[in-house]
Structure 1
Amino acid sequence: MTRKREIQSSVKDESLIEKRRAQMIRGAVMLFKEKGFHRTTTREIAKAAGFSIGTLYEYIRTKEDVLYLVCDSIYDEVHARLNRLDSESGSLSVLATAVGHYFMLVDEMQDEFVVMYQESKSLPKDALRYVLTKELEMMAIFSRLLKECVVNGDLTMTEREVELMSHHLFVQGQMWAFRRWALRDFTIGEYIELQTKFLLQGMAGKSQFKQEVE
């Protein structure tokens, strides 16, 4: 697991750091979505967060630090929700539960997801690599569950198919954030139900399709 990128702070109180940075994330996400990363100033972030520019620089050093915080906030929430399933062996039921947890998180943090992917291009290469590695680690949770479904006989998939399906599951969740404007007639509950149905039916029917083609 990739270590969190260390963001320097002159404040020693960890609980206060967490509180202030959560305020920064909320304010910055709103501004980045509205104006974009480059057109948003640190002074505007401080104002949106509810404190002075001087206070802001007690908790971060650069505007790019805020994007790291957005990335880590998503990463932490994905792991907090899906790691609860770590003690359970992979099964179609557990996989469906994981999909539901992840899609619900995207619904709750859709602005953060949109900002992270739209604005991460503003980061230098090493920082972008950090963000992308974090995403792969989140996706690996689905990869593990799929592999365990294969081991217990719930699914018949090759390693390459598992790898691609892991990406597919992850991106289908993100679609709720990026295509929300076109999916206004759907509730998140309907979206989860239908996507889970499509995904599980597609994976279960893959073997039959392959046999018919051959």
Structure 2
Amino acid sequence: MLDKKKVPSMVKDPQLIQKRREQMIKGAVTLFKQKGFHRTTTREIAKQSGFSIGTLYEYIGAKEDVLYLVCDSIYEEVRDRLKQYLDTSSSGLDRLKEAIISYFKVIDEMEDEVLVMYQEVKSLPKEALAYVLEKELEMTEMIEKIIRDCVEQKLLTLNEDQINLMAHDILVKGQMWTFRRWVIQRNYTLQQYTDMQIEFILKGIEN
């Protein structure tokens, strides 16, 4: 299975690798948002990142490596922020509502990165794509666990398939805040959007 440690680098200093790749990721997100992955050159990524193209290739093997690093970094950041927000003593439906609020908040904070990731992830090589999408399933499982706890407490009546689908539905509704922002964010605040989506999600399934 691919991981970011296996992205080729001629540099041996782990701290320097991390620093340069963080610069690279930030620069690439800006360019991919403006031009897309395929129309962005490695020379442009290097310039946007603040170093030469020769330096760029000391830390990657190909342009696809940059896209992989971008997607991997964004998923990790979303997952880590969500875990942080979910560090709470609440339980039951309150915890589920907090999970939805927290996830939507993370998406709002990282909307440019999330938009770029979902637009361009299809351009990843097969092995890298499988690895990156596995991280999306990890987030789905985090939401599934909270829903399942509500079912076990008899606060919701759902079977396993419904639990899984509901978790995916929550993730997609959060992403919609970014994908449809050109119209949704003109008409609703994040709080208004979140409150309505929680009502839609829970309506009809609470005991």
Which residue identity is paired with 1:78? Answer: V
1:75 is matched with which residue?
75
Moved more, 37-46 or 116-125: 116-125
Q: Residue by residue, what CA displacement relative to the aligned partner does 1:179-205 show, whole Å, maximum 9, x if unpaired? A: 00011222222222222232233432x
Alignment match, 1:33: 33
Residue identity matched to 1:146: I
Unaligned runs of 5+ in 1: 208-214
Q: Deviations over 1:38-75 (max 9, x none)?
A: 11111100111111112212222211112222222222
Counterpart Cα distance in 1 of 2:90 and 2:10:
44
Report the equivalent of 1:21. Answer: 21
Unaligned runs of 5+ in 2: none
Alpha-carbon distance between aligned partners in 1 of 2:100 and 2:150, rounded to the nearest angstrom: 14
Match of 1:187 among 186, 189, 198: 189
- Using a 3 Å threshold, how does the CA distance of structure 1 residues 164 and 7 change in structure 2: closer, same or farther? same
Deviation at 1:82?
2.8
Q: Does 1:52 align with 2:52?
A: yes
SS for the counterpart of 2:10 is coil
Aligned pair in 2 of structure 1 residues 7, 203: CA closer, same or farther (>3 Å)? farther
Task: Give the CA RMSD over aligned residues.
Answer: 2.1
TM-score (norm 2): 0.88
Identical columns (%): 57
Aligned length: 204
Deviating beyond 4 angstroms after TM superposition, the runs of 4 or more aligned structure 1 residues are: 86-90
Secondary structure in structure 2 of the residue aligned to 1:203:
coil
**TM-score, normalised by the number of residues in structure 1:** 0.85
Name the counterpart of 1:212.
none
Q: Is the 1:8–1:61 contact (alpha carbons within 8 Å) kept by the matching residues of 2?
A: yes
Aligned residue for 1:96, secondary structure, equals helix
Q: Structure 1 residues 124 and 161 mapped into 2: Cα distance closer, same or farther (>3 Å)?
A: same
C-alpha distance in structure 1 between counterparts of 2:99 and 2:2, whole Å: 24
